Structure 1
Amino acid sequence: MKTILVTSDLTYAPQNYSNVLEFVISNSRQQIAGVVLIKINLLNIFGKVLFLYFSGCRNIAKTLTLNLFSTLLREKKKLFKKNNIPFIEVKSINNEKAILWLKQVSPDLIVNMRARCIYRDSVLRIPRLGCINVHHGILPPQRGLFCDLYALAENKETGFTIHRMTSQIDIGQIFYQVRIENEKDYIKYLSKVSSREGMAISTSINKIMANGFLLESALEKCGNSIVTTTPDFKTIKQLQHKGIIL
C-alpha cells in the first residue's frame, strides 16, 4: 500500500514534530511512498515569536524558536533523505505542483499530520482509499484550531482523533481516538500527545493496509460542536487566568 504523509516544515509541537514523523516512518516504512512538506513563511514566524513572548507565552515562543532553527537546518528533509523517502515542498497541498506529483505517485492513502490545510476535492479524490487527518481534539465536539488548548482550560476531556477528511473542516468518519491526561502546561501536554500519536498513526496505517479499506468505528459521528480558532491577545490572557501555562 502506498501512503503519502503531509506535514508542515514548521509546527508548534515539541521537537518540531520530527519525533512523531520518525516513529511513523520507522514503524510503517514499507507503506510510506512519499511526503508532501508544506512550506511556512518563515519571515512571519519572527513576528509570531515576538507576539507570543510579549503575551506571556514564553514556553510556546521558546518551542517555536527551536523549531525555526530545526527548519533552517533542514532536519525533516535530512530525515526523509536518510530513509530514502521521496518528498516535495509546496506552499499548499492544493496547488498544481502538489496535485501533479500526487497523481504521479498514485497513492492508496494520504495522511495529514499537523498540516493546516483544507483539502479541495481535487486532492481528496486522488488516493484510492481516501485521506485521513490527525485532529488534535476530541471529535465531534471539538473542532477547529487549538481546540485542545481550549479544552484544557475548561477541564474537558482532551486527546486526538484520526478521521476521514472531507471538504469541510473536521467532519468525517471517525476511525481512532486517544484520550490524553489533562495537563495545564500546554507544551508538556503536547509532549504527552506526541508520545502516543506516532503509535496511533502507525497502527492506523498498518490496519488499513491489512484490511484494504478504511474501517469506520462505532464512535459518535454527529452532535453539538464548537469551532475554535487561534487565540488573540485577549483570549490568551483569559486562558492564562484559567491556569493554562503557555
Structure 2
Amino acid sequence: MNIIFLINRDIASNYALNLILPHLKQTKVHLVYSSQVGRTDVRPANRPAALAQLQFFEQTLPFELLLPKYQVNYCTDFPRLNRRVNQSLSIASVHYIDQINSESALTIIKAIEPDLMVSIRFGAILKSPVIRLSRLGVINLHSGVLPDYRGVMATFRAMLNGEKEIGTTLHYIQNHQIDCGDIIQIDKIPVEKNRSYLWHVLKLYESGVLLILDAIATFSKNISVENHLQPKEGKYFSYPSLQNIIDFERRGGVLVDPDSYIDWLMKNYC
C-alpha cells in the first residue's frame, strides 16, 4: 500500500508514528507534517501560560533541546528525518505542509497517489479536494471519545469533567467538519488520578495506534473496514480557558509532570 501519514510536530504524534512504523516495512510511507494543532490565531500573548508551558514540553524540549544531544530512535529529530528517506523504514518522502488545501499541497499529494491517508493530530482541516485524492479515504485517530469530546485537547476535557475513562476514536474524515466522520472503533483506558494530562495522552496512543494497524491490515486485504454513522449529538471543544485550567488544577489535575515526563523521554527515545 501507498500511505500518507498526516502528522503534527509534537511528541504525541511522533510517539504514535514510532509505534506504527515497525509494522509497515512492506508499505510505502509518506509523511506530511504540520506545525501545530488547532486555531492559528491563538497567540502566546493571549493564551494561558500553562498552555505555552505544555507546548514547550510537547515540542520545544524534545525536538530542539533534549533529544538532539542523544543517540535517538528514528523519527525524533525532524530535520534528520529527511536524510533517512528510502532507508530501512521505507519512508518514501517527507513534506512540511501547513496549507494542506493549497494548490501546491494538492499537487504533492496527487503525485503520491495515496491508497490511504492516516491523520494523527494533524494541524489543519482537510477539505473535499484533498480527501478525494485518497483511494480508500482518510482516517483520523482522535484523542477523545466521539461524539462526546470533539475538538482540541479532548483528553483534558474528559479529565476536567471527571470521567473515569478516556479514549481514542478512529474515524473517517469525510468532509471539512471536525471529528464528525463515521466511527471505525473506540479504545478506552482508565484515568489514573496521580498522573498528568500529558501522561494520559501519550498512554492513549500505545493502544490507540493498534486501531490504525488493524484498519491498515484490513484495507491491505481489499476488505472494507467496518464503521458506523456517528451520532450528531456531542460537543466541540477549543483550547481551554484560564478558568478551565484553574478548575482542573483545583481538582488535583496537572498538565505536565516534568520529572516523570523527562524520565519517559529518556526511556523511550534515548
Shorter-chain TM-score bucket reads 0.7 to 0.9
Output the CA distance in 1 between the equivalents of 2:185 and 2:203.
17
**Using the alignment, how far apart are the partners of 2:14 and 2:11 within structure 1?**
11
**Structure 1 residues 114 and 25, CA gap change in structure 2 (3 angstroms):** same
- Distance in 2, matches of 1:115 and 1:149, equals 18
Distance of 2:234 and 2:181 partners within structure 1: 13
Q: Tell me the SS of whatever aligns to 2:26.
A: helix
Q: Give, in whole Å, the separation in 1 of the partners of 2:6 and 2:52.
A: 28
Q: In structure 2, do the counterparts of structure 1 residues 76 and 183 end up closer, same or farther at CA, with 3 Å as the change threshold?
A: farther
Offset at residue 139 of structure 1 (A): 0.8
**Unaligned segments of structure 2, at least 5 residues:** 69-75, 256-270
* Other-structure match for 2:64: 69
Looking at structure 2, the residues matched to 77 and 34 of structure 1 have their Cα atoms a distance apart, in angstroms, of 15
- Secondary structure of the residue that 1:23 maps to in structure 2? helix
- 1:78 Cα deviation after fit: 3.4
Single out whichever of 57-66 and 146-155 deviates more from structure 2: 57-66
Distance in 2, matches of 1:124 and 1:56, equals 31
- Per the alignment, residue 8 of structure 2 pairs with 8
Structure-to-structure mapping, 1:108-147, within 5 angstroms:
108-147=115-154
Query: Amino acid of the residue matched to residue 225 of structure 1?
Result: G
In structure 2, the partner of 1:187 is 198
The alpha-carbon distance between structure 1 residues 71 and 95, as it changes in their structure 2 partners (threshold 3 A), is farther
Using a 3 Å threshold, how does the CA distance of structure 1 residues 39 and 188 change in structure 2: closer, same or farther?
Answer: closer
- Give how far 1:216 is off: 1.6
Shift of 1:110: 0.5
Structure 2 distance, partners of 1:200, 1:76, is 25
Q: Residues 60 and 245 from structure 1, CA distance in 2 versus in 1: closer, same or farther, beyond 3 angstroms?
A: farther
Q: Supply the distance in 2 between the matched residues of 1:77 and 1:56 (Cα, whole angstroms).
A: 25
Partner SS for 2:6 = strand
Q: What displacement does 1:202 show?
A: 1.7
Which residue in 1 is equivalent to 2:259? Answer: none
Q: Deviations over 1:133-178 (max 9, x none)?
A: 1111101121111111111121223110000002211111111111
C-alpha deviation, 1:76, in angstroms = 3.3
Work out whether residues 173 and 216 of structure 1, in 8 Å CA contact, stay in contact via their aligned partners in 2.
yes
Q: In structure 2, do the counterparts of structure 1 residues 57 and 79 end up closer, same or farther at CA, with 3 Å as the change threshold?
A: closer
Could you say which residue in structure 2 is the equivalent of 1:209? 220
| Change over 3 Å in CA distance of 1:3–1:51 after alignment to 2 | same
Aligned length: 235
Moved more, 203-212 or 32-41: 32-41
The aligned residue for residue 29 of structure 1 is 25
TM-score normalised by structure 1 residue count: 0.83
Distance 1:55 1:229 in 2: 15
Name the counterpart of 1:228. 237
* Structure 1, unaligned runs of 5 or more: none
Deviation by residue 1:23-75 (Cα, 9 ceiling, x = unmatched): 2111123234311122459xx9xx759966x5498666434431341799571
- The two structures, once aligned, show a CA RMSD in angstroms of 3.0
Whether contact under 8 Å (1:90, 1:97) holds in the other structure is no
Contact 2:19 2:206 (8 Å CA) reproduced:
no
Question: C-alpha distance in 2, partners of 1:210/1:84?
Answer: 20
1:88-127 equivalent positions in 2, closer than 5 A: 88-127=95-134
Q: Is the 8 A contact 1:129 1:214 kept in 2?
A: no
The amino acid of 2:215's aligned partner reads S
Deviations 1:167-202 (A, max 9, x none): 211111111111021134112212211322332222
Task: Please identify, of 111-120 and 32-41, the stretch whose mean Cα deviation from structure 2 is larger.
Answer: 32-41
CA contact (8 A) 2:148 2:234 kept: yes
Distance 1:187 1:63 in 2: 8
